[in-house]
Amino acid sequence: MIRVGRFQILSVINGHCRLDGGAMFGVVPKALWQKKAPPDELNRILLATRTLVAIDEQARRVVLVDTGAGSKWSPEEAQRYAITYDPDALPDALAPFGLTAADVTDVVIAHLHFDHAGGMTTWKDKPGGELGIRFPNARHWVHAKHLEHARNPTLRDQTSFIPRDYEALGERGLLRRVTGDEPEPPFEGVRWRLSHGHTPYQLLPWFEDDQRPLLFVGDMIPTASHLPPAWVMGYDLFPLTTLEEKQRVLQLCADRGLRLAFPHDPEVGGVEVDVASGRPSISRALDI
């Protein structure tokens, strides 16, 4: 756990999945990427699904960023992506603070792909039945234009959005829609940064700190292996946009000492980045 401004922050692995390594690294040759992420017999690499937990004890605010793939999967569906999910991971992380899911005040939906948003809802009684809300007292933040895209996806990314993960939140008045290209900060100590390369209007929380702020980078930089600007996913709708966004963020690492928190790295939740050589690399793994 680390302190960033007002917040105590930790990164919780709530499960794992496996996705095709070629798709995860785009045009990067397999001879290079397999050294960092060894594939299985189906060419899939291991990815964590992480939730960033940020606690502001003074304001009594408990913020979650991303919720993993959740448990609403048939065995056949889960096998396709080798999805595992631990429903106790977040409760166990909150318990030392005397907190439960009912104490969560805010859930940030960086984007609505199933491996990030699936853990917001669960089946109440039986699969395919009524949906329950995992964090019933929380505001769930999503950019309005990203929600619009999720409801009207392209043929290329339509399988990444599963309405059962998020539509129940809107029906119960728990969605807080962020608007504009320069959104107002949601509350003290956090501001928004937008990313459009992977998917439109990805909503990335920037945790303020006078010395070393922290940015949850979402699928702009899903793992530490994706730090080099050209190592861009084949899944990205606009890969050149992702490349440009990464370059701007890496410049902030150099200029502001910005630290980065990842959604999918199976080994490290966040890092300080060395960009002095022109080839970004980890200077220190964060203890989160």
pLDDT per position as a tens digit, 197-241: 999 999 999 999 999 999 999 999 999 999 999 999 999 999 999
The rounded radius of gyration (Å) of the Cα atoms in the chain is 18
**Please, is 86 exposed, middle or buried when counting C-beta atoms within 10 Å of its C-beta (0-12, 13-18, 19+)?**
middle
CB atoms within 10 A of CB 231: 22
In this prediction, residues 86-98 reach a mean pLDDT of 96
Confidence of residue 36 (pLDDT cuts 50, 70, 90): very high
Rounded to an integer, what distance in angstroms lies between the CA atom of residue 131 and that of residue 126? 9
Q: What is the pLDDT of residue 278?
A: 77
CA of 96: how far to CAs of 62, 92, 120, in Å? 13, 8, 22
Rounded to an integer, what distance in angstroms lies between the CA atom of residue 19 and that of residue 250? 26
Using an 8 Å Cβ cutoff, are 254 and 276 in contact? yes
pLDDT per position as a tens digit, 118-168: 999 999 888 888 899 999 999 999 999 999 999 999 999 999 999 999 999
Handedness of CA 263, 108, 13, 207 (dihedral sign): positive
pTM: 0.96
pLDDT per position as a tens digit, 143-152: 999 999 999 9
DSSP strand pairing (61-65 vs 106-108)? parallel
- Beta-carbon contacts of 240 under 8 Å, excluding residues fewer than 6 positions away, are 197
CB atoms within 10 A of CB 101: 16
Instruction: Sketch the domain layout of the chain as residue ranges.
Output: 2-8+13-285
Q: Is the pLDDT of residue 260 over 90?
A: yes
Rounded to an integer, what distance in angstroms lies between the CA atom of residue 181 and that of residue 267? 33
Q: Is CATH 3.60.15.10 the right assignment for the domain spanning 2-8+13-285?
A: yes
